[in-house]
Structure 1
Amino acid sequence: MRFFMLFSGIRNALARDELGKEILQIALPTTLALAADPIASLIDTAFIGQIGPVELAAVGVSIAIFNQVSKLAIIPLVSVTTSLVAEEDAAENLQTRPSEKEMLIKVSSDEQADPECSSSSTNIDRAAKLGHDKSHIPSASAAIVIGGMLGVLQTLFLIFTAKPILNYMGLDSNSPMLKPAQRYLTLRSFGAPAVIISMAMQGIFRGIKDTRTPLYATIIGDVTNIILDPLLIFVLRLGVSGAAIAHIISQYLISLILLWSLMKQVDLLPSSIRDFHFRKILKNGCLLLVKVAAATSCVTLSASIAARQGPTTMAAFQICLQIWMATSLLADGLAVAGQAILASAFARRDYSKVMTYASRLLQIGLILGLVLSFFLFSLLPFASRLFTNDIDVLRLISVGIPYVAATQPINALAFVFDGINYGASDFTYSSYSMIMVALVSIFNLYMLSSSHGFTGIWVALSIYMSLRTFAGFWRIGTGTGPWSFLKENSAVLK
């Protein structure tokens, strides 16, 4: 009953009601911001692909390593920050900010002292100003500090371990991919602090339901990256080093824009060190760290297996993977909306709102996945030549296209379920369930890749995402953990 309830009324999933508008206001800017970076990475891939298949494959391995290490810090930090900030912001709105009635009384008293300020528009503007002082959100400051520390540690780690990690990924001293891969990975590691800090700040903005500012900052940074790519790669003839430098500059630019904007809205200088809520972030962050390690290990292992099969296989896998992740992450905008809205609803124990929004988010996610699947099936056979002209690479890409396209609905639901569970602060289940999914998926990767090569890798990745989606359905369908209210309050189900 709980399972089918999630998709009841799916005909109205795209209705322009109040519920749909609230989701759209948060999800659309987030989706565009999340899509901007993978699109910029696709453009990077297209530029690097013009250098040659060896360089393309080398950068593919380096990006897989960088993303693996980055996600170990970014996803737990951003996810926990979004939930905590949303809860703290909701609490502050209820307890400390002036109510609408108080604002109107204040405006009315000011009008008596200043009769010229009597127009309705002036009243609204002045009332709005009274409620828009800087917010006091302790988790925001803690997230930025932790993000900076993690970024420095990642830089040092990648600089000193780049070659051993690349060797582990299948690039030995005889591989032509080793030198360009090591050069790209070492340079790009200097951008790690900016990447993690900017993502921590995006988590803060998501928590206060301001998703437009991160969108503007991301677009400016990615456009800068796209402009610098051809200049550094071809005009200055820096090759893969130019691509890495362009990425670093764009990430620091994004961080500066976000920090400047955030300082206008949130008080980032607590009065004492006790106001830094490090314990909350670290406790839940460690749980999600386990989940992210398990999740990204599957993707990184698949890249390692592809690299061991040679530059041609790795180049094709890199292109398919970038497209797969770029389109799948579009659903992450819905996940962010779900997390921000549900975190506030759970804090207020508004369970009716929890289920209403959860159902609508899953329905929109399913529709989005089906639309993406249709477009990828239609366009990828023709668009793949934008990334490479190598005949062998194109042949392998054609093998991966059906899997990249067909898994889009599954991927969309998996990401939305992540956001819903994070909004419920169900970090423990998210962690343990992902460990089980990863164990099965890693076994499938080894077995299927050894018997079916490139095709086997994509079959295993399809199974991996299916299991993630099933884990999300299972938690809500069984009514356990934070969803136990579904058993206790039958009215919510109606």
Structure 2
Amino acid sequence: MTQASATGRAGRRRHDREIIALALPAFGALVAEPLFILADSAIVGHLGTAQLAGLGVASTLLATAVSVFVFLAYATTAAVARRVGAGDLGAAIRQGMDGIWLALLLGCAVIAVTLPTAPALVGLFGASDTVAPYAITYLRISSLGIPPMLVVLAATGVLRGLQDTRTPLRVAVGGFMANAVLNVVLVYGADMGIAGSAWGTVIAQCGMAAVYLVVVVRGARRHGASLRPDAAGIRASAQAGVPLLVRTLSLRAILMIATAVAARLGDADVAAHQIVLSLWSLLAFALDAIAIAGQAIIGRYLGAGDSQGAREACRRMVEWGIAAGIALGLLVVLARPLLLPLFTGDASVREAAFPALIVIALAQPLCGVVFVLDGVLMGAGDGPYLAWAMLATLAVFTPVALLVPAMGGGLTALWGAMTLMMAVRMLTLWWRARSGRWIVTGATR
């Protein structure tokens, strides 16, 4: 074995250890988050159909609001990781505090909008007179939990940037358990109905935010970082988040267009689409965990001025993405006879979903590359390019998807269009990664 090959193998093992150490806890935290809604649905569902429908409407609005601000985690991770790589932990935590203050401001703004407009927002979903009161009640109470939830996003970004994904996992698991217990006690023990579920979730979210703040404040005091709000820092955090906000909104638009097209295909197709989309989203959690590791690792290398290390880490993470995608694709193919009966007993729905599942299985290696490169460029702080690339992807996907029903295509054709969308994303991300223009070293970009 030559010295070069031995060095290369040692480098790959080092990257593998880093990726595993960050990705596994990140995956656990990602999976724990949607369990909040799952627990609420299971508990509220026993109150009645109207209450469950009201929860469905309100939780969709809340999930959309929170997902729009996911840039608080992504942008903070990249900025903090750069400071860590530069060896300035005090500045890293100070950067994170700017993101947390921005999260509080945005959360308060969302409350100010949501409380008076809750009936109108619920009305957009066409909720019946029976369902609407429950949806409004849940939405108004749960909106009080948006500031702590956004703080959780920003603080999660701080800890990821500090190369710590274990604490977010512990907090997510603890928050899920507290939410489940509080929901049971308030909904049934205190006989508060759907309002009890909302209050239980708010209390759990406040508890999670409090734990994060304790961790971050301790770190700030240890390294002499100021906790006071800094207008310039908050403004810089907001500016860094705008491109990622555009990226997120473009992605949400793609998913909404896909669902709207599926609805035009027929009841069986839209039901099958919901099943396929849910499984696609679940698979995305596993791939996103590698992307989160990429954000933290790439930011640290660039902050340390190690462009070669960043390139090698990027290459290794792409290999991980492809391998994970192949494994997930095979899992879907092997498990498909068992998966569909879990969701529906309708033969027509299963028939529509079956070939679409094959399409998403075949596309998983492609998805693995997309998620990883997305994380790499986020870690590099290359938000403006990600925004333009996603807008271009939206522009390509929209006419193709809208042509599916016009050309007599079914759900399989729609998911073919979704795969085309991922292919366009891969091409734009791969081109950027190969160009090396994302490699900008230093404590700030």
TM-score normalised to structure 2 length: 0.81
The equivalent of 1:260 in structure 2 is: 214
Q: Using the alignment, how far apart are the partners of 2:112 and 2:253 within structure 1?
A: 21
What amino acid is aligned across from residue 145 of structure 1 in structure 2? W
Structure-1 separation of matches of 2:229 and 2:101: 12
Residue 205 of structure 2 corresponds to residue 251 of structure 1:
yes
Alignment partner of 1:474 out of 417, 422, 431: 431
1:147 matched to which residue of 2? 103
* Residues 417, 472 of structure 1: 8 Å contact kept: yes
| TM-score, length-scaled by structure 1 | 0.74
Native 8 Å contact 2:58 2:135 kept in 1: yes
SS at match of 2:145: helix
Offset of 1:408 from its aligned partner?
2.7
Task: Name which of 6, 18, 25 aligns with 2:14.
Answer: 18
Write the mapping of 1:149-164 to structure 2, written as runs, cut at 5 A: 149-164=105-120
Residue 435 of structure 1 pairs with residue 391 of structure 2? yes
Q: Whose radius of gyration is greater, 1 or 2?
A: 1
Listed as ranges, the gaps of 5+ residues in structure 1 are 1-8, 98-133, 486-494
In structure 2, relative to structure 1, the CA distance for the partners of 1:461 and 1:143 (3 Å cut) is: same
Alpha-carbon distance between aligned partners in 1 of 2:54 and 2:12, rounded to the nearest angstrom: 46
Deviation at 1:226, TM superposition (A): 4.1
| Alpha-carbon shift at residue 306 of structure 1 (Å) | 5.1
SS in 1 for 2:226: coil
C-alpha distance in 1 between matches for 2:352 and 2:190: 32
- Residues 55/394 of structure 1: CA separation in 2 closer, same or farther (3 Å cut): farther
Q: Deviations over 1:260-302 (max 9, x none)?
A: 2222222497276558612321221112221111111212333
Classify 1:292/1:86 alpha carbon distance in 2 versus 1 (closer, same or farther; 3 Å). Answer: same
SS state at 2:86 partner: helix
Gaps (5+ residues) in structure 2? none
Aligned to 2:155: 201
C-alpha contact (below 8 Å) 1:441/1:460 kept by paired residues? yes
Following superposition, the deviation at residue 458 of structure 1 comes to 3.2
1:338-487 pair list within 5 angstroms: 338-387=294-343, 397-398=353-354, 400-449=356-405, 451-452=408-409, 454-477=411-434, 479=435, 481-483=437-439
| 1:211-222 equivalences in 2 (<5 Å) | 211-222=165-176
Work out the number of aligned pairs and report it.
Answer: 432
1:289: which partner in 2? 245
Change (3 A) 1:174 1:460: farther
CA RMSD, Structure 1 to Structure 2 (Å): 3.9
1-structure distance, mates of 2:184, 2:267: 23
Hey, what's the Cα distance between the residues in 2 that align with 1:314 and 1:47? 26
Give me the whole-angstrom Cα distance separating, in 2, the residues matched to 1:25 and 1:322: 27
The one-letter code of the counterpart of 1:27 is A
By how many angstroms is 1:465 displaced?
2.4
Contact 2:269 2:411 in 1 (8 A): yes
Cα 1:182–1:382, aligned 2, differ >3 Å: closer, same or farther? farther
**How far, CA to CA, are the matches of 1:434 and 1:77 in structure 2?**
18
CA shift for structure 1 position 476? 1.9
Instruction: Encode CA deviations 1:385-426: one digit per residue, 9 max, x unaligned.
Output: 545666766665546533443433232222211111112221
CA contact (8 A) 1:188 1:244 kept: yes
Within the candidate set 234, 245, 257, 1:301 is matched to: 257
- Between the two structures, name the one with larger relative contact order (CA 8 Å, sep ≥ 6): 1
Identity %: 26
Q: CA deviation at 1:251?
A: 2.3
Partner AA of 1:286 in structure 2: V
Q: CA deviation at 1:66?
A: 2.9
Moved more, 398-407 or 196-205: 398-407
Distance change in 2, residues 1:255/1:467 (3 Å): same
Equivalent residue of 1:482, what SS? Answer: coil
Residue 328 of structure 1 deviates from its aligned partner by 0.6
In structure 2, what is the Cα distance between the partners aligned to 1:347 and 1:252?
33
Distance 1:211 1:272, change over 3 A: closer
1:3 aligned residue: none
Give how far 1:459 is off.
Answer: 3.4
